[in-house]
Amino acid sequence: MAESAGEARVQGRIEGHVAILTLDRPAKLNALDQAMMAGIEAWVDEVEANREVRAAIITGAGEKVFSAGGDIAAWAGLDPLTFMRDWIRKGHRVFDRLARLRQPLIAVVNGHAFGGGLELAATADLIILEEHGRIGLPETGLGMVPGWSGTQRLVRRFGPRIIRRMVLAGEMFPAESALAHGLVDQVVPKGEGLTAGIKLAEAIAARGPIAVQLSKQLINAAEGEEEAFAIEAVAGALVAYSDDLKEGAASFREKRTPRFEDR
C-alpha cells in the first residue's frame, strides 16, 4: 500500500479486512508535511477502492507521539496566500477525505496528539489513546489559529466548551481526563494501542459491511459532516436496486419510451 518517498513518509498495510496506516516519521515526532499529506491521501484512495477492507486504522510510529501536528519547517516560510492555498486548503481536503472514508476509521493515538495531530485523530470514528498520551490545541500560544478544522469538526464532535478550553486557554488533557470529557473512546496501557485498535476493527469488520458503511454515513450526516452526500448516497443505493432503474436502463438501450409500473 501507500508509501511516500523521502524522509517524511507513511506506511500502509492490510491485515485481513483491516487497513492500517502508520505515520512513520518518529525522528520529527510524526509532524505532518506535504509529502506525508500526499501519502495519506494516496492511502485513502487505495482503501476506498479495496472491497475487502471493512475497517481502517491510523496510528503513529514510535512510543511517545502520535503526531505533533503540522511541521513548522514546512510552512513557516510560506507567504500568506500560499499558506492559505497550499497548506490550509490541502490539509482540509485530506482530513475531509479521512473523515468521510466509507469504512469506519479508528485512530490509535500512541502518544501525544497536538494541534494538527489532534485534528487528524478527530477525523476518526473512534479514538483509542494510550495512557501516557496528552492531547491539546496549542496554536494560539504560537500566534496561530487551528487550521485543519480544530474550531469546526472538533466543535461538532466534542462540543464547544471543551474546545474553548484547549484553543483559548491552551489546556492540555492527559489520557484519563480526555476519556472523562468524551474526547477519546478508550484508554489503554502504553504499547497496547494497536492491539486494541485491531481488536476493535475486527469486531467492526465482522458486522454487515453495507449496513456499517451506511450507518457511518447517516451518523456523519446527523453530525453535519457530510449531510448532502449521505442523503444522495443512500437514495442512490436504494434506487440502484429498483425495477424502475432496470426499466429505465433497458429503455435507453432499446431506444424506446420507458414503461414504469405503479408501485
pLDDT in tens, 213-227: 999 999 998 888 776
**Of the residues 41, 130, 139, 225, which is catalytic?**
139
Q: Which of 42, 74, 56, 66 is nearest to 115 (CA)?
A: 66
124 and 220 co-located in one domain = no
Residues 44 and 151 in one domain: yes
Whether residue 2 is contained in a domain is answered as no
Res 83: pLDDT:
67
Residues 168 and 233 in one domain: no
Q: Which three cell numbers stand for residue 27?
A: 525522528
* Integer Cα distance of 151 and 67 in angstroms: 18
Residue 139 is a catalytic residue: yes
Percent of the chain with pLDDT over 70: 89
Both 147 and 98 in one domain: the answer is yes
Q: Are residues 57 and 165 in the same domain?
A: yes
Q: Do 216 and 171 reside in the same domain of the chain?
A: no
Give residue 96's pLDDT.
93
Distances (CA, A) of 196 to 13, 106, 125, 144: 17, 10, 15, 35
Are 132 and 34 in a shared domain? yes
Co-location of 96 and 219 in the same domain: no
Task: Point out the catalytic residue in the list 119, 131, 223, 232.
Answer: 119
Q: Are residues 226 and 200 part of one domain?
A: no
The answer to the question of residue 263 being in a domain is no
Residue 3 has pLDDT above 60, yes or no: no
Q: Is residue 259 part of a domain?
A: no
For 143: left if phi > 0, alpha if psi spans -120 to 50, otherwise beta; the answer is left
What percent of the chain clears pLDDT 90, i.e. is strictly above it? 65
Pair 171, 112 in one domain: yes
The reply to whether 181 and 249 lie within a common domain is: no
Residue numbers of the domain that contains 238: 209-254
What is the C-alpha to C-alpha distance for residues 260 and 251, in angstroms, rounded to an integer?
10
Domain boundary among 205, 220, 235: 205
155 and 191 belong to one structural domain = yes
Q: Would you state the cell numbers that stand for residue 66, as one nine-digit string?
A: 502520535
CA-derived radius of gyration, the chain: 20
User: With 70 as the cut, is the pLDDT of residue 4 above it?
Assistant: no
> What digits encode the pLDDT tens for the residues 33-82?
889 999 999 999 999 999 999 999 999 999 899 999 887 776 666 667 77
pLDDT in the model for residue 8: 46
Last residue of a domain, one of 205, 220, 242: 205
Q: What is the CATH number of the domain that holds 145?
A: 3.90.226.10
**Domain count across the chain:** 2
pLDDT tens-digit map of 150-166: 999 999 999 999 999 99
Please say if the pLDDT value at position 2 is more than 70: no
